[in-house]
Amino acid sequence: MEDRVLVTDIQRFAVNDGPGFRTNVFLKGCPMNCAWCHNPETKAPRPELYWKKKLCTQCGSCLDACPEGAVNAPVPVEEAAGEGSLYHKIMRSRCTGCMKCVQACRFGALEIAGRPMSTGEILDEVEKDRPFYANSGGGMTVSGGEPAAQGEFTYLLLAEARERDLHTCLDTSGLCDFSLLKALAGQSDIVLFDLKHLDGQVHKAFTGMDNRLILNNLVRLSRTGCALWVRIPVVPGFNDSHEFHRAAALFLSNLPRPVVRVDLLPFHNWCQDKYSWLGIDWIYRDADSLDPAFLELPADLYRERGLAVTIGGSGFEGYGGRAPGRPADAGCREM
C-alpha cells in the first residue's frame, strides 16, 4: 500500500459535509465520471495541471521550461483571458506532467492539482481546526473523488483519526466491494452516502457506471445500523423530476433500518473555473444553479415517508452519530 495519496484540497469550516464545522479532506481518484461533477480535479488518480488564465501574464517562461513542446506560444493577455476565448496555455495531449512549467511560473498561473500526503500530514492539518469542533460537534470528513478508490489508505486515515479522538465522516458513492465499504464505515461515525439515480441506464449515461452495486451496498450498509446520511445531488435533466423523488423516497423509506436524514443538494455551477483551468469543456457550463426553493416540493415527498430531510445539507441540522469525545462503537455489522 502507498504510504501517501494525492490530496487536492483540505477545506476548512465546511458546514455541508457532516455535523458542525468540518475539515474536508479531498482525495484524488474516482471510478465514476459524473457529468455534473463539482470537483473535476479529483477524478483522475494522478497530479494534474491547472492553468489560471486570469493570473497569466503571457510572459513565456513556461514555454521556455517545457521539454515536451506542450505549451502554446504567448498571445496578448486580453485575447487569452477575454470572454469566450478558446485559447488554452497547455496542450494536454502532449503534457507528460513533469510540472517544470509550474516551477517556472512566477505569477501563480500554473498550479498542481494533487499533492502527495501521508495520514500523519493530513491529520496534523486537520487537528489545527480542533478548537472549532468541540462546540459545533464537528470533525474530519474524508471526501473526493472517491475515498474507497484509496481504500487501505482511507481506512488507516479514519482509524488514526479515531485514535486522536476526532469525529469522522466518510463521503462515498458506495461504488466498491461491500467488504471494503463495511470496513470504512466501521471507522466512521457517519457515512454520507450519495444516491444519484435509481434507474441503471440513466445512471450509467450520466456517470459512466451502472448503479446495481451502489444500490445493493446501500441496502446492506443500512442493515449494519451505521449512522447513514443519504445525499442526493439534484441535477437538471437528470434527477430533478417529481417522479424520481417520489421513487427515491419510497426506496429510502423501505431500507432495512432508517437513515438519519436525506440531504437534497441543489446543483450549482460555481465550479466552472475548475473546468476552465483543466482545459475541459463542461457540458453544464451554461446551466443555471438550482434555486434551493425549487426543492421544497420534492422535500415534502420524503417527509411524507417519514424521512428527515434538509435542502443543502447544513451540518447543524439532524445530527447523527457519536458525540465528539465519546468512544465509538466497534464497527458496523450486517444483520
CA dist., res. 331 & res. 292, Å (int): 35
Whether 274 and 156 map to the same domain: the answer is yes
CA dist., res. 11 & res. 23, Å (int): 6
Provide the pLDDT for residue 316.
62
Whether 262 and 185 map to the same domain: the answer is yes
Model confidence band, residue 84 (pLDDT cutoffs 50, 70, 90): confident
CA dist., res. 201 & res. 153, Å (int): 32
Model confidence band, residue 314 (pLDDT cutoffs 50, 70, 90): confident
CA dist., res. 144 & res. 263, Å (int): 18
The verdict on residue 10 lying in a domain is yes
Beta-carbon neighbour count of residue 11 at 10 Å? 14
Which tens digits make up the pLDDT trace of 40-81? 999 999 999 999 999 999 999 999 999 999 999 999 999 998
330 pLDDT more than 90: no
Residue whose entry in the numeric block shows the C-alpha cell 515536451 = 68
| Angle at 143 (CA atoms; ends 326, 27), nearest 5 degrees | 120
Write down the mean pLDDT value for the chain: 93
Provide the pLDDT for residue 2.
63
The verdict on residue 322 lying in a domain is no
Whether 61 and 130 map to the same domain: the answer is no
Looking up residue 128, the CATH number of its domain turns out to be 3.20.20.70
Last residue of a domain, one of 66, 96, 113: 113
Whether 28 and 170 map to the same domain: the answer is yes
Mean pLDDT of all residues in 106-112: 97
Q: How far is CA 92 from the centre of its chain?
A: 24
Model confidence band, residue 315 (pLDDT cutoffs 50, 70, 90): low
DSSP annotation of 147: G
- Which residues neighbour 47 within 8 Å (Cβ) at sequence distance 6 or greater? 6, 97, 99, 112, 113, 114, 115
Model confidence band, residue 328 (pLDDT cutoffs 50, 70, 90): very low
Provide the pLDDT for residue 82.
87
CB-CB contact of 231 with 252 (8 Å): no
Q: In total, how many domains does the chain have?
A: 2
Provide the pLDDT for residue 135.
87
Whether 101 and 149 map to the same domain: the answer is no
Least confident window among 179-183, 233-237, 315-319? 315-319
Which structural domain range is residue 179 located in?
A: 5-43+119-311
